[in-house]
């Protein structure tokens, strides 16, 4: 028997044939020498301590057990050797990972982590969380952000299948979340009404959901993205939402996006509705919301008898408005009523958007799609240097003859948001082809203050953030892709 101390206080881990048992305070480094780590009591990382879990480690929890983090948690999996968190025995549902406060400025980092068999998945409370290439499946909520948490999510998957109508794949309350290339899936397996059920729920929160996919399946109505008391500091763009409804109740309304007491603009979305009964809408607007939709596809592939609307205005909610422009509405009534709903004549497409394979949630456009080059001329051109297409994905050819654009841009850089800013700012770049990318921030004297990225990146959209530890002032964001360079001005206000 080999004895190895993992914690400074309560726990000594005993390794027998590679197995370890723990309860109490843990810290240090967990590697494959002690894997799998079998956790039969609650464990925690104390304030001031760090737990680092390396690639190919497996951590298995007994039912009802959780990992609480008051200090620092770093999970360093790889694509070929992820870190796996799971139940100890078949059917064991453990509580999940709960990150609480901790030292100011501390970053909790999870990379290539697989978290399964949990009830709560990952909960961040007053914390800063960075998740990259992670997969979380849970029995209730896969990701929960609370009390001024700040989360950056990239290429992650959050999945929930449950009987609980209060479940969500991702829930943010009074927090900031930036989601890029993520997938959120919620399956409600109950016959109960789910009026407020949603795959993604944002309450009084900020940030962006970009280049992501949301899917919700329910019997009696639920929502893909539910925005409650959110303003224009929430950006939803380049995202697809698939809502499957298979119940006949006309009382509750399912939707791809629901906005309650929220004023915001939705851009370049692909909203797919599929129902054999009941009432369903691309966008459901209520509680005095004011919503603008631009360059968005709202389409239904259902064939049963149902009330289907592109936009549904709550008739019992005074002051609720929605405006639709440069969008595609297919196999749906444009809106349930005219009061509060407006659209710009001559900018709407009514034909089939010709998604490549909506049954498989592939929302790229066919070369004959009427949505190509049909977006707002005031929008930023697509990366192929043509007029913006309608929907999540742009078609990388000109509309005539299927030929490539004559002079595609090598890359584009979005306007940083927010700017001016205090805690942090976000921006994205879109590459027409793979390039070596360098992202650097300089002060006005030309001194480098931050190196954000320096690697070869694939074609497509990439999202970045900067949370500076420098003084107030003006800074220059320099993005180089190959031989091309773009610069943006940043204003930091402390």
Which tens digit of pLDDT belongs to each residue from 39-90? 999 999 999 999 999 999 999 999 999 999 999 999 999 999 999 999 998 8
CA atoms 312, 315, 320, 323: torsion sign: positive
Give Cα separations from 60 to 35, 73, 109, 135 (angstroms): 10, 17, 19, 16
Among residues 34, 3, 32, the alpha carbon closest in space to that of 18 is found at: 34
- Enumerate domains of the chain plus CATH numbers: 2-338 (2.160.20), 411-492 (2.60.40.1930)
Characterize the bridge pairing of strands 2-4 and 13-15.
antiparallel
Give the angle 63-66-70 at the CA atoms, nearest 5°: 175
pTM of the model: 0.79
Q: pLDDT category, 107, cuts 50, 70, 90? A: confident
Is the pLDDT confidence value at 252 over 70? Answer: yes
Is the pLDDT confidence value at 4 over 50? Answer: no
Predicted confidence (pLDDT) per residue in 392-401, tens digit: 998 875 434 4
Share of the chain above pLDDT 70, in %: 88
Q: pLDDT category, 224, cuts 50, 70, 90? A: very high
Preceding omega of 36 cis (within 30 degrees of 0): yes
Predicted confidence (pLDDT) per residue in 295-340, tens digit: 999 999 866 657 889 999 999 998 999 999 999 999 999 998 878 9
Whether residue 153 contacts residue 177, with contact meaning beta carbons closer than 8 Å, is answered with: yes
Q: pLDDT category, 278, cuts 50, 70, 90? A: confident
Mean pLDDT: which of 94-103, 203-212, 273-282, 462-471 is highest?
A: 203-212
What is the per-residue pLDDT for 494? 74
What is the per-residue pLDDT for 1? 33
Q: pLDDT category, 91, cuts 50, 70, 90? A: confident
Least confident residue range of 183-192, 368-377, 464-473:
183-192
Whole-angstrom Cα Rg for the chain: 24
What is the per-residue pLDDT for 251? 61
């Amino acid at each position: 028997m080999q004895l190895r101390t993992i914690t400074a206080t309560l726990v000594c881990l005993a390794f027998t044939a590679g197995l370890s048992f723990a309860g109490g305070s843990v810290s240090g480094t967990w590697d494959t020498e002690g894997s799998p780590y079998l956790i039969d009591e609650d464990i925690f990382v104390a304030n001031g301590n760090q737990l680092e879990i390396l690639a190919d480690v497996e951590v298995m929890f007994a039912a009802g057990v959780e990992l609480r983090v008051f200090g620092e948690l770093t999970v360093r999996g790889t694509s070929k050797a992820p870190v796996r968190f799971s139940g100890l025995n078949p059917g064991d549902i453990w509580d999940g990972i709960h990150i609480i406060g901790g030292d100011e400025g501390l970053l909790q980092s999870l990379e290539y982590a697989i978290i399964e068999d949990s009830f709560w998945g990952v909960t961040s409370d007053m914390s800063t969380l960075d998740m990259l290439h992670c997969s979380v499946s849970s029995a209730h909520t896969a990701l929960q952000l609370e009390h001024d948490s700040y989360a950056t999510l990239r290429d992650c998957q959050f999945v929930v299948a449950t009987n609980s109508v209060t479940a969500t794949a991702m829930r943010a309350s009074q927090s900031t979340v930036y989601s890029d290339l993520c997938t959120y899936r919620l399956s409600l397996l109950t016959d109960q009404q789910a009026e407020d059920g949603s795959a993604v729920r944002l309450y009084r929160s900020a940030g962006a959901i970009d280049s992501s996919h949301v899917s919700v399946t329910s019997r009696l109505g639920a929502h893909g993205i539910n925005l409650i008391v959110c303003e224009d500091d929430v950006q939803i763009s380049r995202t697809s939402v698939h809502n499957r409804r298979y119940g006949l109740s006309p009382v509750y309304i399912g939707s791809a996006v629901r906005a309650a007491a929220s004023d915001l603009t939705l851009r370049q979305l692909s909203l797919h509705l599929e129902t054999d009964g009941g009432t369903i809408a691309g966008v459901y607007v209520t509680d005095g919301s004011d919503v603008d939709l631009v360059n968005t596809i709202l389409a239904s592939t259902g064939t049963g008898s149902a009330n289907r609307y592109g936009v549904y205005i709550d008739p019992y909610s005074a002051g609720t408005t929605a405006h639709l422009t440069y969008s595609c509405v297919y196999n749906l009534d444009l809106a349930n009523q005219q009061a509060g709903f407006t659209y710009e004549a001559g900018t709407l497409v009514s034909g089939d958007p010709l998604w490549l394979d909506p049954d498989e949630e592939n929302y790229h456009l066919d070369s004959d799609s009427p949505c190509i080059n049909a977006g707002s001329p005031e929008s930023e051109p697509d990366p192929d240097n043509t007029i913006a297409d309608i929907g999540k994905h742009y078609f990388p050819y000109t509309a005539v003859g299927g030929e490539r654009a004559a002079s595609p841009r090598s890359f584009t850089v979005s306007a940083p948001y927010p700017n001016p800013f205090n805690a942090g700012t976000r921006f994205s770049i879109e590459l027409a082809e793979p390039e070596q990318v360098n992202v650097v921030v300089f002060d006005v004297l030309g001194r480098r203050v931050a190196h954000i990225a320096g690697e070869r990146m694939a074609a497509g959209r990439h999202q970045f953030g900067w949370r500076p530890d420098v003084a107030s002032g003006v800074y220059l964001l320099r993005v180089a892709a190959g031989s091309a360079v773009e610069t943006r001005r940043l204003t930091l206000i402390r």
